[in-house]
Amino acid sequence: MSQVVAQEPEENGSLSPFRHFTAEEWGRLRQDTPLPLSASELEELKGFGERISLDEVSEIFLPLSRLLNLYVGEMQELYRVTSDFLGRVQDKVPYIIGVAGSVAVGKSTTARILRTLLARWPNHPKVDLITTDGFLYPNKVLEERGLMQRKGFPESFDIKRLIRFLSDVKGGVPHVEAPVYSHFTYDILPGETISVDQPDILIVEGLNVLQPWKPAEGDEPQPFVSDFFDFSIYLDADEEAIRRWYIERFLSLRRTSFKDPAAYFHRYSKLSEEEAIKTADAIWTSINLANLHRNVLPTRQRADLILRKGDDHRIRDVYLRKL
């Protein structure tokens, strides 16, 4: 496999599709918006081993929630105008936000913080969140298809089921069920679902949510997952930094949840520190880095907003797509 070097989004010149902001410049766009989040609430929203402060939430996520609130308000006004024109009330359709990026880059924490901040704006209090992990095929199916070592690659997901789910949600269908995935058992939880019931906003977080569909010969055209998004975000960082964060998280899990005999990765808890680092690095290189190069990173330019992190895990640059 040829080496792919992650380049920063082009930011200079009139042909660039993005406008660049430093974190400080972006932070000033929050204006006088108060931060409706406490330190204890932030601790509950953090992913395992995540490093994020209230200052970063205020500087990056508060302006983003303000921008998205304005976008949602405009969409709500459009539906009101359309209802007036047609002479009848239209079904409520949620505003859908996609969050993409590599393993270990902080997608889940980003999605949870956004959900909390957006739910505290008065005009869209009902905000739901799903992860596409729930649409992975069960391990039994992946084993039958020889895909266990490609878990997280596009072919390991039940894309048709995910498309049906998003189509129903975007169509205003009440009580749409999504399957549930457990990182502890590393598998879909049989019989367990979460219900999405006509939210104001739905956040969809996952590795490959911005990837365009690649039809096989003879396949009928079908929508992309991102066709259902009103706004999309890509979490970005240098791949060497992401590799380090992945290994650090692996070592932390080895000392904690992996110690439970019921955990899928319990066998890794018995490794020495050196063995654990080598194992984590091998998993990162053979699965997660390969997926990043082949499937995830190429979708970055399709996002509406790119949040780029520095080596310290803090977001340093923001790229907003020009209208």
Task: Give the residue, 7 or 223, on which the prediction is more confident.
Answer: 223
Q: Are 264 and 151 within 8 A, CB to CB?
A: no
Does the pLDDT at position 142 exceed 80? yes
pLDDT band at 243 (very low <50, low <70, confident <90, very high): very high
The DSSP bridge partners found for residue 108 are none
Average pLDDT over residues 126-149: 97
What's the pLDDT score for residue 295?
95
Q: Which of 96, 92, 175, 156 is nearest to 129 (CA)?
A: 96
Does the pLDDT at position 227 exceed 80? yes
Distance CA 186, CA 175 (A): 26
Q: Are 152 and 158 within 8 A, CB to CB?
A: no
Place of tokens 């699965």: 287
Q: Are 122 and 105 within 8 A, CB to CB?
A: no
Task: Provide the Cα torsion 297, 301, 302, 306; round to 10°.
Answer: 90
Share of the chain above pLDDT 70, in %: 93
- pTM for this model (two decimals): 0.92
What's the pLDDT score for residue 15?
61
DSSP tag of 200: S
CATH no. of 92-312: 3.40.50.300
What's the pLDDT score for residue 6?
40
What's the pLDDT score for residue 124?
83
pLDDT band at 316 (very low <50, low <70, confident <90, very high): very high
Share of the chain above pLDDT 90, in %: 80
Q: Are 233 and 99 within 8 A, CB to CB?
A: yes
Average pLDDT over residues 122-143: 95
What's the pLDDT score for residue 323?
86
Q: Are 20 and 26 within 8 A, CB to CB?
A: no
pLDDT band at 50 (very low <50, low <70, confident <90, very high): confident
Express each pLDDT in 273-284 by its tens digit.
999 999 999 999
Number of H-type helices and E-type strands within the chain: 10, 9
Round the average pLDDT of the chain to a whole number and report it. 91
Q: Domain residue spans in the chain?
A: 92-312
Strand stretches in the chain, DSSP E = 18-22, 95-101, 127-131, 176-182, 187-196, 201-205, 231-236, 305-309, 315-321
What's the pLDDT score for residue 13?
47
- In angstroms and rounded to an integer, the radius of gyration of the C-alpha atoms of the chain is 20
